[in-house]
Amino acid sequence: MRLLVTGATGFVGSHFVEQALALGHEVIGIRRPGSVPRIPLPEDVRWVDAALDADFAGEWEGVDCLVHMAAHTANVPYAPLPECLYWNVYASARLVHAAALAGVTRVLVAGTYFEYGMAAEGQEFVHPATELRPMLSYPISKAAASAALLGAARELGLRMQLLRIFQVYGRGESAKRFWPSLKAAAQEGRDFPMSAGTQVRDFIDVVDVAGAFVRALSFEGVEAGRPHVRNVGTGRGQSLLEFARYWWGQWGGGGRLLPGEVPARPGELQRLVADVESVHVG
C-alpha cells in the first residue's frame, strides 16, 4: 500500500513509519524542512519538504491512503488558538479535500484524548462517542478538527478512521515530557520532584500506538461516508505515581522520587482511561 503520511517525523509518526516500512508499505513522508525522524528508520522514505498547507498536487498519484498524524503544538506551551485553528483545522480540512479530489478515499487521522476535556469527568472509561468539551487552544483545535474531518468524510463519501491517542510515552519522546524527564533523573542519580501523582491515566507505549494505526490500515468494516472513531489506549488505569515508581525501579534510580513537590495543573482531571472496546460510527 502506498501511504502519504503527514507528521512522519513526529513522535508517533516516526514509529508508525518504522512499522509500516517493515510490513512492506511504501511511504511518502511530509515533513517540515530540516525535520528528522525521532528514531532511526530501517530504510529511507520519499520525503516531501513542505508545510501542511502546501499544494501536494504532484504527490497523490498511486496513493492508497492518507495518514494524517501532523499536529500543531501538541505539547505545552500551546500556540494561540487562531494559530492552532489554522493548522489543525483549516490546513487539515484542506488536505483531506485535496486527497478526495485526487481519488484517495481512505483516510486515517490521529486525534487526542485531550479533545474530551471536561466531558470525561466522572467517567470510569471514556467512550469514543463522548461529547467533546476541551480546554485550552490545542485541544479545542483538535476537537474542531475532528468535527470538520468527520463531516468531510460523510460529505465526500470517504472511508475514514479517527483514532484518539491516550497517554502515550516511549522512545523518541520530547525530552521535556514526563517519561523522558523521569528517565534522565533516574539514570543520572538525581531526585525527581513531581506532583502528588494521584491522577489516573491510560499509559500506552508508542510502539503499541503505532501498531494500532498500522492495523487500522485494513479499514475492516469501515464503509464510505460512515467514519469510525476509536480510542487508542490499554483500557487500564494507573496513577502517575504508580507509573513513576515502576519506571524508577526499572532504571534503578539512585535518587528519590519526590511526590507533592510540584503543584498539580489547574483544572486537571483525576481520571482519564480509554474505553478501547467501543467504536463510534459517525
User: In CATH, what number is assigned to the domain containing residue 218?
Assistant: 3.40.50.720
- What pLDDT is recorded for position 43? 83
Listed as ranges, residues in the chain with pLDDT below 50 are none
Cis peptide before 139 (omega within 30 of 0): no
Residue 190 lies in a domain: no
- What pLDDT is recorded for position 200? 98
- What pLDDT is recorded for position 82? 98
- What pLDDT is recorded for position 120? 96
Residue 115 lies in a domain: yes
Task: Write the single-letter amino acid at 202.
Answer: D
Residue span of the structural domain in which 104 resides: 2-169+204-234+275-281
Q: In degrees rounded to 5, what are phi and psi of residue 258?
A: -125, 75
Give 91-119 pLDDT, tens digit per residue: 999 999 999 999 999 999 999 999 999 99
Nearest to 70 by CA among 154, 14, 143, 150: 14
- What pLDDT is recorded for position 132? 98
Nearest to 144 by CA among 184, 90, 203, 197: 90
Whole-number Å distance between alpha carbons of 217 and 5: 12
Nearest to 99 by CA among 3, 13, 203: 3
Residue 268 lies in a domain: no
- What pLDDT is recorded for position 44? 80
Give 146-160 pLDDT, tens digit per residue: 999 999 999 999 999
Instruction: Give burial (CB, 10 Å; 0-12/13-18/19+) of 77.
Output: exposed
Nearest to 201 by CA among 262, 113, 73, 69: 113
Q: How many domains does the chain have?
A: 1
CA geometry: angle 171, 44, 27, nearest 5 deg:
90
Residue 244 lies in a domain: no
- Report the run of H or E that residue 183 belongs to, with start and end: helix 178-188
Residue 150 lies in a domain: yes
Angle, helix 92-101 to helix 137-156, in steps of 10 degrees: 20
Strands 238-239 and 167-169: unpaired
Residue 42 lies in a domain: yes
Residue 228 lies in a domain: yes
- What pLDDT is recorded for position 198? 97
Residue 178 lies in a domain: no
